[in-house]
Amino acid sequence: METSPLSRRISAEQLPLERLAGNSQLSEAEKIAGVSRHFEAVLLRQFLTEAQKPMLKSKSAMSGATGAIYQDMMVNQLADEISKTGKFGLARSFEAQVVSPHQSEAAKAKSQTAGG
């Protein structure tokens, strides 16, 4: 009895950034969208980290190394979740800026080969 390998469709959101470019199951548009989302998440992390810095020193139990680790984990998760919703809009903007020049170059090359 021979079994065929399971072909499961992978989305760009499921892959870490370093594995997007080399994945043969994703189209260029999916790769660009994935990288744009990751870039948006990085910017959101920076915004959220700055927003969470206390203006006054705190003497709570969550200060120190434990509090910093917890806060960093919370910011990372929050940034990823905000980015996955697509509501922030930066990823779409980045994607449009990357895709438009790429598509216009492809259209030019296609028209030159068809007309020439």
Q: What pTM does this model have? A: 0.66
Q: Which tokens in the block code for residue 102?
A: 């790429």
Q: Quick one: pLDDT band at residue 5, thresholds 50, 70, 90?
A: low
Closest CA to 25 of 47, 7, 46: 7
Q: What is the pLDDT of residues 74-100, one digit of tens each?
A: 999 999 999 988 888 888 998 888 887
3-state secondary structure (DSSP) of residue 114: helix
| CB-neighbour burial class of residue 37 (10 A; exposed 0-12, middle 13-18, buried 19+) | buried
Q: What is the pLDDT of residues 38-77, one digit of tens each?
A: 899 999 999 998 888 776 666 665 667 888 888 899 999 9
